[in-house]
């Protein structure tokens, strides 16, 4: 139910024809792959989990799934595929939402999940150097005894892998506090799809290194189209000793923005989340899942504010002052500070259940856009004015602190008429209001037709030329973004 809307993309893209330049995998190729990875790591059956991604909306029929265990095996695979012009889709945790990690036709899937042996953590500097196939949560667990954690956190942390996090420039719920992965990435080992299977060690394990072009950052958000990431050097962050949560009820969107300003001032260095839910989300949470609001005053907007710090007494005091100031200044009409882990969990349950609530409510057209704060809720209002009569409900939640809105349009069922009313209208509106049509999910297959929106021909040409430089035969993750 949750993922119905995404199937749209798959339907449309099924019409993209297979590129005849790519060779079809033959038995001889399978024998070579077996000689590289070992027989049991070249799979042609029981590969459903590799064919389609987490959304089940995208997928193809890969000729085989390869499970190399090392950078060298990836190199040998890519060298062979380059010579033979066999298309390859790199895959890590396969938890994306835009169809970027699965084949469209018969591309070979190259999974990095077995490249998960090397783990090296320098507690003095906080720098982690590890294989790309480690699951994000595993890394967090391994860092915890040292007093550190990964600088990013996602809903998919139990299955997404660090190599995929880097390839997609994953955002998540700690971004406000710790910044994007650009703030932490230091070095990469990547394999290029060349006839030599070129292995590159890029960057280093130093926080400061100005000895070359900072090429690792080009792979952040490259969606597996420049090379296969096999190892990652990244800065970890100290694990906070204290995490505090609070919810505020706010009557106007302008006041929400003022509460954010107030949070930046009062909570400053410990502010770790600033999440937004409108009243319509609260209603569907109750109606669809029976989840009652924490705030009983039925405010127009609900804000969920979280801090992560090193001193519980200090953090509690900061949060109390922040809440008091918001109430005193009339910015918030209601405010509750969580007094226990259970109360904090109840707040987060509302925010984290929002996608499930709308999915249970009907067919959902999901969106993931960045907007300047002054236009953040304008999009929702515009879409309501445009097509309320055709929908069941229109709700918005998201990461207000990052300017990242998740506008969800719910209908009884999929309707081509509603789709055409929504798209490309939403993307064009976002573009016209200086926004981004993909804040954190990427382009993949889903947004490919709109990838050029707001980009100049010169930017497009540069991106294509960079792609050709890294992937001269265009065999890596074809039919996607670039």
Least distance from C-beta 89 to a second copy, angstroms?
Answer: 18
* Residue 366 engages a second copy in binding (rule: CB under 8 A): no
Enumerate residues 291-320 that contact a second copy by CB under 8 A: 308-311, 314, 317-318
In the complex, the smallest distance separating the C-beta of residue 167 from a second copy, rounded to whole angstroms, is 11
HSE, side-chain direction, 13 A CA sphere, residue 232: 31
Secondary structure string (H, E, C) spanning the chain: CCCHHHHHHHHHHCCCCCCCCCCCCCHHHHHHHHHHHCHHHEECCCCHHHHECCCCCCECCCCCEECCCCHHHHHHHHHHHHHHCCCEEEECCCCCCCCCCCCCCCCEEEECCCCCCCEEEECCCCEEEEECCCEHHHHHHHHHHHCEECCCCCCCCCCCEHHHHHHHCCCCCCHHHHCCHHHCEEEEEEECCCCCCCEEEEECCCCCCCCCCCCHHHHCCCCCCCCEEEEEEEECEECCCEEEEEEEEECCHHHHHHHHHHHHHHCHHHEEEEEEEEHHHHHHHHHHHCCCCCCCCCCCEEEEEEEEECCHHHHHHHHHHHHHHHHHCCCCCEEEECCCHHHHHHHHHHHHHHHHHHHHHCEEEECCEECCHHHCCHHHHHHHHHHHHHCCEEEEEEEHHHCEEEEEEEECCCCHHHHHHHCCHHHHHHHHCCCECCCCCCCCCCCHHHCCCCCCHHHHHHHHHHHHHHCCCCCECCCCCC
Query: Token match 């490309």: residue?
Result: 424
What is the nearest approach in angstroms of a second copy to the Cβ of residue 175?
7
Task: Out of 71, 370, 391, 445, point to the residue binding a second copy (CB under 8 A).
Answer: 370
Hunting for tokens 């918030």 — which residue is that? 332
Selected range binding a second copy among 49-57, 79-87, 214-222, 293-301, rule: CB under 8 A: 214-222
From the list 52-60, 66-74, 102-110, 448-456, the region that binds a second copy by CB under 8 A is: 448-456
- Is 117 a binding residue for a second copy by CB under 8 A? The answer is no
The answer to whether 123 contacts a second copy (rule: CB under 8 A) is yes
Does 268 sit near a second copy (CB under 8 A)? yes
Q: How far is the CB of 205 from a second copy (least distance, A)?
A: 7
Query: Is 434 one of the binding residues for a second copy (CB under 8 A)?
Result: yes
Query: Cβ closer to a second copy: 92 or 357?
Result: 92
Q: Which of 3, 47, 200, 356 binds a second copy (CB under 8 A)?
A: 200
Closest distance to a second copy from the beta carbon of 151 (Å)? 10
* Residue among 11, 14, 16, 122 that touches a second copy (CB under 8 A): 122
How near is the Cβ of 423 to a second copy at its closest, in Å?
16
Q: How far is the CB of 200 from a second copy (least distance, A)?
A: 5
Q: Is 469 in the site for a second copy (CB under 8 A)?
A: yes
Looking at 14-22, 43-51, 56-64, 369-377, which segment touches a second copy (CB under 8 A)?
A: 369-377
Please enumerate in sequence order all residues whose Cβ is within 8 A of that of 344, keeping only pairs 6 or more positions apart, or say none.
Answer: 243, 244, 245, 338
Nearest to a second copy of 254, 381 (CB atom): 254
Least Cβ distance, residue 360 to a second copy (angstroms): 27
Nearer to a second copy, 378 or 454 (CB): 454
In this structure, are residues 376 and 436 in contact, taking their beta carbons and an 8 Å threshold? no
* Binding footprint of a second copy, residue count (CB under 8 A): 92
CA–CA gap between residue 467 and residue 457 (Å, rounded): 15
280 binds a second copy (CB under 8 A): no
Among the listed residues 55, 111, 222, 445, the single contact to a second copy using CB under 8 A? 222
Nearer to a second copy, 63 or 237 (CB): 237
How near is the Cβ of 238 to a second copy at its closest, in Å?
5
Site for a second copy contains 433 (CB under 8 A): no
- Is residue 269 close enough to count as binding a second copy by CB under 8 A? yes
Based on CB atoms, which residue is closest to a second copy, 123 or 329? Answer: 123
Cβ–Cβ under 8 Å, residues 242 and 326: no
CB of 363 to a second copy, least distance (A): 25
Answer for which of 3, 23, 47, 199 binds a second copy (CB under 8 A) is 199
265 is a contact residue toward a second copy (CB under 8 A): yes
CB of 365 to a second copy, least distance (A): 19
Q: Does 373 bind a second copy (CB under 8 A)?
A: yes
Site for a second copy in 128-167 (CB under 8 A): 147
Contact 296, 356 (CB under 8 A): no
């Amino acid at each position: 139910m949750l993922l119905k809307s995404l199937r749209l993309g798959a339907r449309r893209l099924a019409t993209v024809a297979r590129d005849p330049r790519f060779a079809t995998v033959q038995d001889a190729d399978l024998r070579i792959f077996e000689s590289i990875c070992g027989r049991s790591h070249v799979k042609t059956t029981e590969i459903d989990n590799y064919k389609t991604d987490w959304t089940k909306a995208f997928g193809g029929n890969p000729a085989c799934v390869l499970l190399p265990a090392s950078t060298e095996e990836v190199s040998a695979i890519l060298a062979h595929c380059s010579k033979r012009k066999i298309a390859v889709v790199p895959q890590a945790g396969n938890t994306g939402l835009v169809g970027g990690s699965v084949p469209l036709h018969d591309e070979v899937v190259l999974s990095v999940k077995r490249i998960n042996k090397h783990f090296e953590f320098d507690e003095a500097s906080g720098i982690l150097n590890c294989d790309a196939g480690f699951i994000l949560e595993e890394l967090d667990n391994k860092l915890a005894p040292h007093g550190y954690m990964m600088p990013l956190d996602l809903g998919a942390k139990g299955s997404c892998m660090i190599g995929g996090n880097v390839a997609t420039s994953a955002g998540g719920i700690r971004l406000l506090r710790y910044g994007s992965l650009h703030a932490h990435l230091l070095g990469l080992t990547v394999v290029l799809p060349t006839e030599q299977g070129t292995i590159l060690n890029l960057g280093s394990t130093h926080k400061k290194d100005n000895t070359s072009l900072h090429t690792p950052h080009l792979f952040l958000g490259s969606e597996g189209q420049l090379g296969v990431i096999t190892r990652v050097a990244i800065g970890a962050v100290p694990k906070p000793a204290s995490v505090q949560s609070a919810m505020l009820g706010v009557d106007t969107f302008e006041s929400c923005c003022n509460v954010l300003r107030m949070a930046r001032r009062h909570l400053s260095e410990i502010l770790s989340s600033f999440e937004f839910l409108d009243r319509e989300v609260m209603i569907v949470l109750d109606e669809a899942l029976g989840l009652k609001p924490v705030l009983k005053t039925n405010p127009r907007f609900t804000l969920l504010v979280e801090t992560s710090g090193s001193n519980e007494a200090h953090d509690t005091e900061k949060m109390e002052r922040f809440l008091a100031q918001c109430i005193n200044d009339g910015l918030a009409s209601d405010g509750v500070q969580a007094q226990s882990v259970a109360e904090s969990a109840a707040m987060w349950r509302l925010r984290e259940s929002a996608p499930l609530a709308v999915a249970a409510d009907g067919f959902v057209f999901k969106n993931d856009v960045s907007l300047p704060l002054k236009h953040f809720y304008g999009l929702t209002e515009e879409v309501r004015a445009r097509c309320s009569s055709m929908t069941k409900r229109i709700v918005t939640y998201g990461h207000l602190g990052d300017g990242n809105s998740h506008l969800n349009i719910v209908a009884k069922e999929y309707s081509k008429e509603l789709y055409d009313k929504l798209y490309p209208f939403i993307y064009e509106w976002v573009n016209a209001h200086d926004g981004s049509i993909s804040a954190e999910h990427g382009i993949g297959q889903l947004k490919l037709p709109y990838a050029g929106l707001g980009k100049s021909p010169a930017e497009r040409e540069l991106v294509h030329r960079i792609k050709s430089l890294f992937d001269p035969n265009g065999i890596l993750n074809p039919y996607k973004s670039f």
